[in-house]
Every structure is written in structure tokens, then in C-alpha cells.
Structure 1
């Protein structure tokens, strides 16, 4: 009985441990948009958010993204407050149907610099990342609630007619 208990305890502890995940860069696109800090050129950043638009050019694709904070799995938390906008530049063609408006993505890449543009009638300076890695996340909703174990109560019956109350932890 004791080895079974220890095995179950180890499995429970392993399930509760946090994975490595993607770490946020700390500096947000909004901060860089305002400061236009040129010393960050060439540095690697990891940002995520919702796709606003995809523009295919002759030899590259520009993806405009509304940035959101990343959760511990590296997914953008679209329920969080926005962190500015950025452009993710991809060398080559990206299919716009695979990156529709609202698609959640996380991008890691080198900072190329800035490009001036517009958001509506307002001037905006977009930080531009060269896409080294990109990850699409299913849906356009927050993953924060999925990061925490869920405790559920239930009533169960088995084939022998035993009735009981159980407690489960979902991961």
C-alpha cells in the first residue's frame, strides 16, 4: 500500500510542477514605441498577442499584432491589458487564412528597428521583429484559467453497485 501511495504522491507533485514555457521579454512594444530606443536593435524579444492584419509583400510578410502579456505557457492573455502594437516580419509568404484577424500568436525574434505608420488617423511607431519562431494558439481567448488545477466533486458508481463520493483534480 505504501509504494502505491508514494507513486500517487509523486505523480500529483509532477503534475503540479510548472513547465519551462516561454518567458516574456519584459520590455513591451508600447515602451519601445514611445522611446524609439535604438540600442535594442538586434536583441531578441518574445511578444505575443492578437493578429490585426497580414500584408504579403513581394519577398516578405508583415503581421500587425496587438500585444498582450504572456502567461507561463507563453500564450497571450487576451483578457489582460494591451501592451502596444508591433509588426512581425517574416521572410517569405505567410498564408493570411492561417493567421486571421484575432488569431493568438507568440513570436520570438530579433528586433529590426521601427517603422512609422498609422492607427486610424493617429501616427504610430511600430517596433519590428524578424520572426525567428512563431506559435499559433487555438482560439482568441485567455489561457490563464487553464494554467491552474481544477478541483471537481462527483458521485460515482461502479459495476458492482458501489456508490461513493470522490474528489478529483483536473490538469
Structure 2
């Protein structure tokens, strides 16, 4: 009787580890910023994330220019390859310090697509969907760990 209860408890604990933070939970339109820029999706409720390109504090709000990436099951941005989901702008009432929200930090937003803006990236005119964000979720910096391996002594089978 104890073994099945222990196994069930372990599964519950592991499932909790893979869940999304409460502010990022919910049902959202399954579209990328690139898809939203190609067709008018004004009003769609989205959960998008990626890396910060630029932070623009304004008098009553802060806007973030983002490069979109896929999200993991926990809703954290994930760089699987150089293929991104496009770019977007997310704005939220209040001041978000550019010293904290630095370039390349990972952020996930939830909110509705409110409008579109055309801005230049280099010499190219790019159509950005603009999200009026309800949630701005800054992820902790990922720690990089270097793993050092040592070669096994030769012959390995005689050294235990």
C-alpha cells in the first residue's frame, strides 16, 4: 500500500515542477507574432515571450521591443534554433527599469493584440503587433555550468 502512495506523491511533485507560474496560466490564441503581423488579429489574447531587443520607458508606460521564441511547457522562452517567431512590441502601464530589463533578458507577456506599428529594422520596414500586456514576467538569468570530464584511466576495467 505504501509503494503506490509514494509513487503517486512523487508524480504529483514532479508535475508541479513542470507547471507554469500562476500569472502565465490560461488559454491563449496559438499564433506567433509573425502570423499575427501577416493577418489582422487585433483583440486576440496571446502569451508570447522571447528576448528583449529594446526597452522604451514612456511617460505613463514602458514598451518592450521583443524577438519572439518558442515557449517551453512552463511558458519560458526557449531558443531551439535561429528560427524565431518574429518580433513584437509589448507595452504595460508603469515604469520598468531598463537596467533590470536588459537586452537579451527573457520575458513572457500575456495580453491582447491592440494594434500594429511599422518600424524600421535597419532599412527594412517591419510590421510589429503591439500587445497591451496584463502580465510582464521576467525570468531569472540562466546559470551556465561548465562540465569538465576526465578521461578514464587505461585500461579502465582494471581500476576499481
- TM-score class normalised by the smaller sequence: 0.7 to 0.9
Gaps of 5+ in 2: 144-160
Q: 2: CA distance between counterparts of 1:97 and 1:118? A: 24
Q: Secondary structure at the match of 1:94?
A: coil
Distance 1:93 1:41, change over 3 A: same
Aligned to 1:136: 138
Q: 2: CA distance between counterparts of 1:139 and 1:10? A: 32
Verify the 8 A CA contact 1:104 1:140 in the aligned structure 2: no
Q: 2: CA distance between counterparts of 1:46 and 1:57? A: 23
What is the RMSD computed on CA atoms of the aligned residues?
Answer: 2.0
Aligned to 2:15: 17
Per-residue CA deviation, residues 77-122 of structure 1 (Å, 9 max, x unaligned), is 1234310000001122211112100110100011111011011111
Say yes or no: does 1:27 pair with 2:27.
Answer: no
Verify the 8 A CA contact 1:108 1:134 in the aligned structure 2: yes
Q: 2: CA distance between counterparts of 1:69 and 1:33? A: 17
Aligned to 2:109: 107
Verify the 8 A CA contact 1:103 1:140 in the aligned structure 2: no
- Pairwise CA distance, 1:20: 4.8
Distance 1:26 1:99, change over 3 A: same
Aligned to 1:65: 66
Aligned to 1:8: 6
Aligned to 1:51: 52
Instruction: Name the TM-score, length of structure 2 as normaliser.
Output: 0.76
Per-residue CA deviation, residues 8-59 of structure 1 (Å, 9 max, x unaligned), is 2122222343655346631110112223x1xx32221110000110011222
Q: 2: CA distance between counterparts of 1:24 and 1:103? A: 23
Aligned to 1:165: none
Gaps of 5+ in 1: 142-171
Q: Secondary structure at the match of 1:117?
A: strand
Q: 2: CA distance between counterparts of 1:106 and 1:87? A: 12
As a proportion of its length, which structure holds more strand?
A: 1
